[in-house]
Structure 1
Amino acid sequence: MAKDEDRGVMIANAIGCAVLALKFSGGRISEYMLSEKLEEMRRNETNVIGKGVYRDAAELVRKGRSPVA
C-alpha cells in the first residue's frame, strides 16, 4: 500500500511541476499541452523510475484514469 501511495504522490508532483512549467513559460494549459509537457519531461529524465512516473502521469492526463492498478 505504501508503494502505491508513494507512486501516486510522485505522479501528482509530476503533474504539478508540468502545470507550473507551462504557467511560468506563458504556455496554454490544456490536457494536450500538459500531456506533451509531461512527455518532454520524461524524455529529459535519466532515472528509470522517473521516466515511468512521467509516462504514467501523461497517461492519467490523457485518459483520465491511473495506469497503476
Structure 2
Amino acid sequence: MHSTSVRIDQQTHEELKLLAERLHTTVGNTVTLAVRSLRQDVLGAELSQDLRADERAWLDADLG
C-alpha cells in the first residue's frame, strides 16, 4: 500500500495512539476509520437537508 506523511501536532498524535490502542489497531487504520466517520457525518448532514424545488419536482414527476 502506498503511504504518505501528514503533519499533526503532538497532542493529536497522542490521542490517535490512545484511540488505536483502545480499538486494537494501528494509528494509520485509526486515521482511516476517522476519515470514514467524518465522511459519513457529512453525507448524513447533506441528506438531512430539505430538498430543493428542482429535486422535489423530479421526485414528483409523472413517469407514465
Of the two, which has the highest radius of gyration?
2
Give TM-score, length-normalised by structure 1: 0.36
Give TM-score, length-normalised by structure 2: 0.38
Question: Of Structure 1 and Structure 2, which has the larger fraction of its residues in helix?
Answer: 1
